[in-house]
Amino acid sequence: MSKIKFMAAGASIVDADQTPLDGVVDHVEAFLYLGCHVMPDAQSSFDVSRRVAAASGAFCTLRESVFDSDDFSIAIKRIVYGVTFLAVLLYGSWSWTVRQRDFHRLEYFHLQCVRSILKLNRGRQIEEHISSLQIREI
């Protein structure tokens, strides 16, 4: 019983509802489930920020040796990117309630990395009229 906690989600609760079983079960504002923070308002912004930071670190680790290297084809870089980087970025996403803002943040970060792999900076993309859709197709 000492490990059991409860969190109210959705409608607000009153103080009397926060002490079920004569105070044996504690009320928490959020909890960690399979590495993801579960919040009463179903926000996932915290987890999205954490995963973007972790994925950024993973990408930087492989950037020089793999993604910036001319020794590997785009096909190999794509496989490495999908297997390592996307796994880190999207870990725990099955439990997220992704808002539009979070989705755009994930998509922007993903496109930044793909542009980096393709050695295509934002200025060149605009200059050559390459759309984000074309980048996704590549």
Question: Residue 80 pLDDT more than 80?
Answer: yes
Report percent pLDDT > 90 for the chain: 19
58 vs 30, more confident: 58
- Output the pLDDT for position 20: 55
Strand 36-38 to 31-33 pairing: antiparallel
pLDDT score for 107: 92
Count of alpha carbons within 13 angstroms of residue 54, beta-carbon side: 16
Q: Are strands 5-6 and 36-38 parallel, antiparallel or unpaired?
A: unpaired
Whether residue 87 is predicted with pLDDT greater than 60 in this model: the reply is yes
Q: Give CA–CA dist 95/93, Å, rounded.
A: 5
- Mean local confidence (pLDDT), 61-74: 90
Q: What are 8's two structure tokens?
A: 């109210």
Phi, psi (5° rounding) for residue 11?
A: -65, 145
Mean pLDDT, residues 105-114? 91
Query: Is pTM, for the whole model, over 0.75?
Result: no
Which of the two residues, 4 and 132, has the higher pLDDT score? 132
CB neighbours (10 Å) of residue 116? 14
